[in-house]
Structure 1
């Protein structure tokens, strides 16, 4: 048995209970650790109320000990799997959105790899060095992508370039707070990582903080720069909608080059196309020939040993029962707490009980397509929590929920750790507002607020929570009276909003 921190134990427990919510962990221990290609893989032996499993980190996955009785073979399989997992089309498409910042993301991955190997002072300082290199790569990539000034400072002058780039991207007094927030985020990351590179008292927590600060700074800065480089307006100039999505295509006059343009989902407006990728340049890390398949199989012969010619035949496992895929567990905290409303989108949904999301506060500030405010679980550090309802649903219905929530246009998927009504922590799906979709001046329409109140009453959320975070929120009348009547009809006559 190897030593493990409480944080490691809790992380592995949460991961397992997220992957296997029908099983209860009764014992777990870290039994082995190995580093391969700068990635550390820790092997955990998990005992549940029904069976035993391996959980292996470094691309965390779990393996049944009925199929992998031998730990070494499970680890070998895991490492090979992590090396061979193909990049999905969705991932490749997401990568297009961050060109020309590939070197920055590669350096960010190097920081993550360094974190897995960080065990002493020199390692922690090395994380600081890699974070600093990442921030310099960010500014360098921005310099290469556009001409920001006629009098450029030295290429590595991080602070000067930060001022130049974001003064150009966010000019005028109306952008003062946005501009200041981005500069402050970048300055904090730069100052802290530079300190870490020489700090004699640095700890693993300092390295982790530098990693987190750098990730946040890179993400925020890249978003702003890419929007400018690709000519993405804040709203559709034709209809005013903020629901803009990237479209990809090719130009017959420039074969082999992939182009991207913003397109409005509410009308036929499209923006100016810009080249984002030379499809004939570069090569994937893993080259494949022959037919590829997405089919999977489950081994029926236990991997107790590597069989050699002439060895006795190993008996296969008993036939495994198969059935429908396990349901997804979803944390609803706004209008979707109303089972009536949620079943419109996911007929299979079933409530599982109340749960609490620590470190977040309920806000009605997510900008909606109808110009009102919708609910968001906003991350805070002041001890607040969001109370909501857990639902299970058929994974085949998830795409419908994604469309209804507007994923990519105001809400984003998130995996969060909640505490259920039995006091157990579990990772679940939820939706959180994108930072650029938040407006604290917004109010919810009264019918939307009533849906939230209906869900609170239906599932018995704490009265003091409902009073403070829902009933106390000022609502506005929906100017679209037809929509107001339609939504209220869904609530039914059984719900009477509290005064």
Structure 2
């Protein structure tokens, strides 16, 4: 432990104790040092006006406070207990990443292989053991985007000719498709946001692939960007088909309604379940 580190950690311990309503430090000394995990973890013996405490801390290790008056009688026992908590936190951290794709409404039955790729990559987050595993997830994301570009080009063959694009040019194809699916002045802001998203998804996946310094959150962000890009383009397609023309109650704008046939006419009655408003509407909705 360097003198600089000692001064810094003593200040942090004092602040940490104060935050836990422990005041009046009378004695503060490192009782024992452990390095079983390849990093040094220190158990501090702290005596205060409010009792005696163990404080366990180290670089890249969360600081925690344990009383000496109850269960944790020795520095070794405090360290063992702290190590168990840290390992459980890490295990929970990995479990939280397991279903990362659930955070994005991903409905891509049209391209099941992309769905399968991304779900497998999400599961691989539980088994990361080195930089190459992070890079592999980035590669999966990039390959998924390239595959999506191929599907979009196949569904819209004129785009390649009109814009002089290659089938693997995800950024170019996706931007052209966004212009096609969200045309007009009213969608100008939406187009810009969607273009920024797909460009960010591609750029971030490329960074993850080529950098050995990325970590698990970077891989998760990469997956989220990729899933979001796929989902956004699909929902733009639904918007393009007219799914955003769902009727609404003219009074309260609710979309919770029922349609009834009007007696002796071919028209329908829209009955709002939210406000009770009823109105004659066209034959077809």
Query: What TM-score do the two structures reach when normalised by structure 1?
Result: 0.30
Alpha-carbon offset, residue 153 of structure 1? 1.6
Q: Among residues 218, 223, 238, which one is paired with 1:206 in the alignment? A: 218
Q: Partner of 2:267 in structure 1?
A: none
**8 Å CA contact 1:142, 1:225 repeated in 2:** no
Alpha-carbon offset, residue 30 of structure 1? 7.7
What's the C-alpha RMSD, in Å, of the aligned pairs? 4.4
Kindly indicate which of the two structures has a greater share of residues assigned to strand. 1
Q: Among residues 93, 101, 104, which one is paired with 2:114 in the alignment? A: 104
Q: Partner of 1:218 in structure 2?
A: 230
Q: Among residues 240, 259, 266, which one is paired with 1:267 in the alignment? A: 259
Alpha-carbon offset, residue 198 of structure 1? 0.8
Question: Cα distance 1:237–1:211, how it changes in 2: closer, same or farther (>3 A)?
Answer: closer
SS in 2 for 1:223: helix
Query: What TM-score do the two structures reach when normalised by structure 2?
Result: 0.50
Can you list the C-alpha shifts for 1:79-124, whole angstroms capped at 9, x where unaligned?
xxxxxxxxxxxxxxx99x6331222211211221232222211111
Moved over 4 A (4+): 26-33, 56-60, 237-242
Question: Cα distance 1:28–1:145, how it changes in 2: closer, same or farther (>3 A)?
Answer: farther
Q: Among residues 135, 146, 155, which one is paired with 1:145 in the alignment? A: 155
Q: Among residues 154, 174, 182, which one is paired with 2:186 in the alignment? A: 174
**8 Å CA contact 1:132, 1:193 repeated in 2:** yes
Q: Partner of 2:144 in structure 1?
A: 134
Alpha-carbon offset, residue 193 of structure 1? 0.8
Superposed, which structure 2 residues align to 1:380-459 within 5 Å? Answer: none
* Matches of 2:132 and 2:234, distance apart in 1: 30
Is 1:190 matched with 2:195? Answer: no
Alpha-carbon offset, residue 219 of structure 1? 2.1
Question: Cα distance 1:32–1:203, how it changes in 2: closer, same or farther (>3 A)?
Answer: closer
Alpha-carbon offset, residue 242 of structure 1? 7.5
SS in 2 for 1:194: helix
* Matches of 2:109 and 2:215, distance apart in 1: 34
**8 Å CA contact 2:247, 2:255 repeated in 1:** no
Alpha-carbon offset, residue 29 of structure 1? 4.4
Matched residues, number: 181
* Matches of 2:254 and 2:172, distance apart in 1: 32
* Matches of 2:224 and 2:176, distance apart in 1: 24
**8 Å CA contact 2:148, 2:230 repeated in 1:** yes
Can you list the C-alpha shifts for 1:128-180, whole angstroms capped at 9, x where unaligned?
11111122222222233344535362110112101210000111111111111
Kindly indicate which of the two structures has a greater share of residues assigned to helix. 2
Gap runs ≥5 in structure 1? 8-25, 34-41, 45-55, 61-93, 245-264, 270-368, 371-402, 405-479, 484-499
Q: Partner of 1:20 in structure 2?
A: none
**8 Å CA contact 2:97, 2:220 repeated in 1:** no
* Matches of 1:224 and 1:161, distance apart in 2: 14
Superposed, which structure 2 residues align to 1:4-403 within 5 Å? Answer: 29=84, 98-147=108-157, 149=159, 150-151=161-162, 153-228=165-240, 231-236=241-246, 243=255, 266-267=258-259
* Matches of 1:168 and 1:236, distance apart in 2: 21
Question: Cα distance 1:159–1:188, how it changes in 2: closer, same or farther (>3 A)?
Answer: same
* Matches of 1:205 and 1:138, distance apart in 2: 24
Q: Partner of 1:19 in structure 2?
A: none
SS in 2 for 1:267: strand
Gap runs ≥5 in structure 2? 1-35, 38-59, 63-80, 99-104, 262-270, 278-285
Larger Rg: 2
Question: Cα distance 1:193–1:242, how it changes in 2: closer, same or farther (>3 A)?
Answer: farther
